[in-house]
Structure 1
């Protein structure tokens, strides 16, 4: 049975064509794409012409600012990027096999799981896998998923984006994420008896924008409690800026419990959690990988150390009487 992929190969589609399409999708300009793959611009134009002859249709069109891929070109470029990612991972895997228990792993994580899951894994991996180096990127879920699809991460500990790209990724849920409210030590609300939810609205809140998962979750929970939107003069996804603002003002920040527990631990910690639980919990985060893609051995080892153990059925013993 002849497949479409067989037809493309028989018509002459080569790895050089795929490299060119992937570079063009990333740069939007033929010259820049040519530079990226190390060829001259006339050679790049010739590769594009060959692709269009092979598929019998245009893959790009000129715009005022450069090149725009056609729908057919975009589809082929996505596949080309995936092939390149697989080849890069294959090269890394071969190097790991040749070098024994070694390798380099690129992990993305949102802040809470970075502290609760990734950090303990890193401490354990230093002893159990000393030949593996790890690079960790901490960002919001949508940015991490973009980097994952671009091949800059092996896997992410995050949440799937609410857009069509989620169909390009596999997701294995790990845990939900409860949220607590944190302030600076000595905040007026820390001394208020019978603290109520309405008391929180007298102070500024600092949290990500309403389009973020945390922002949407917090606002939805406040609405469910019959409360208005809190005062919010600053929206930021920067964790460091959030901490700095808390320390220098009377602002309140909803943060993942793992984050709050880390920075409000101890009697001399500069931050404190408010003794009021609004019942806020962000949807579960999980292990995200490219759809159908295999991790390198080193990346799989790190992922296995992060994932919770799979529960097993208890062994039932029967007693003879």
Structure 2
């Protein structure tokens, strides 16, 4: 790297490489950097002169990075992420009470870990703003590596090198069975597994971790697979399907309790526990990253180390 710097490698070169990897278009990258396309072309020529190898190749109307270019772009992205984190850290370095935090979470922990912490933080840390992205773990971890999230509450993605992440394991996710209020099963004094299997179940696709957990547990209990006319990863579609039919949906317990809480809630948690649990989740950060103090403080709160007292009126 010292050799590259001595030859004139600059931050603008790194920004261009990262943008080219994302867009595959020199014109789009030039626009993103706020420069003209000829200026972007000159930067590309300079990069290749500094590195001593071709970093791009024309592909149709766009371009693709060579192996050399992709390698440099990956490391350039990490440099830019660290610089952004440094800027944020410096802005709140004295107290860790100011800044913007980007959190990714799978659905259950978003309800029973992230939301309670944000409710407290809204009052105790009024100068901290937050974004919360709820999605499957593989998408969240990809965003984490790209620097678009500060930390993730989820599971390490299959096929991704674990060395890229640091994870602190938390707990398993118990699963409840949810139906609409007024469902036949909701009025029974006692429910058997056989009763459940008389109705359609709405589950995510076969590769989803919840679907695998449900099927594995039913197999352990010696039960057949339930009728399943609909598979969907959309939580809103699952709720709509339950509301408009007699479908049963296995839902993370923290989420189920939110939507079935109170006598007027539109959904009901069935009084039967099949012992379904989704494998443990954890709090995930980029390996070796130095987090801004405000992010580290929020992580401590999510882990339950420091929950600020809610101010009284």
TM-score, normalized by length of structure 2? 0.90
Q: Which runs of 5+ in 2 are unaligned?
A: 307-313
What displacement does 1:98 show? 7.2
Q: Structure 2 residue aligned with 1:208, among 200, 204, 208?
A: 204
Provide the rounded CA distance (Å) in 1 between the counterparts of 2:256 and 2:40: 52
The equivalent of 2:84 in structure 1 is 88
What displacement does 1:186 show? 2.1
The equivalent of 2:111 in structure 1 is 115
The equivalent of 1:19 in structure 2 is 15
After TM superposition, list the pairs within 5 Å mapping 1:1-321 onto structure 2.
5-97=1-93, 101-164=97-160, 166-192=162-188, 195-309=191-305
What displacement does 1:264 show? 1.6
The 3 A distance-change label for structure 1 pair 207 and 165 is farther
User: Matched residue of 1:275: which SS?
Assistant: coil
Are the equivalent residues in 2 in contact too, given 1:142–1:161 (CA < 8 A)? Answer: yes
Provide the rounded CA distance (Å) in 1 between the counterparts of 2:139 and 2:207: 13
What displacement does 1:308 show? 3.3
Q: Which runs of 5+ in 1 are unaligned?
A: 311-321
The equivalent of 1:314 in structure 2 is none
**Number of equivalenced pairs:** 306
Provide the rounded CA distance (Å) in 2 between the counterparts of 1:80 and 1:17: 9
Are the equivalent residues in 1 in contact too, given 2:176–2:269 (CA < 8 A)? Answer: yes
What displacement does 1:297 show? 1.4
What's the C-alpha RMSD, in Å, of the aligned pairs?
2.1
Are the equivalent residues in 1 in contact too, given 2:21–2:70 (CA < 8 A)? Answer: yes
Are the equivalent residues in 1 in contact too, given 2:96–2:294 (CA < 8 A)? Answer: no
User: Matched residue of 1:174: which SS?
Assistant: strand
Deviates further, 152-161 or 190-199: 190-199
Are the equivalent residues in 1 in contact too, given 2:179–2:246 (CA < 8 A)? Answer: yes
Provide the rounded CA distance (Å) in 2 between the counterparts of 1:58 and 1:229: 55
The 3 A distance-change label for structure 1 pair 107 and 274 is same
User: Matched residue of 1:202: which SS?
Assistant: coil
User: Matched residue of 2:152: which SS?
Assistant: strand
What displacement does 1:182 show? 0.8
Residues 63-97 of structure 1: CA deviation (Å, up to 9, x unaligned): 22522222222221111111111111111122223
Are the equivalent residues in 1 in contact too, given 2:89–2:292 (CA < 8 A)? Answer: yes
TM-score, normalized by length of structure 1? 0.88
Residues 220-276 of structure 1: CA deviation (Å, up to 9, x unaligned): 222333334333232222222222221221111111111112222223322112222
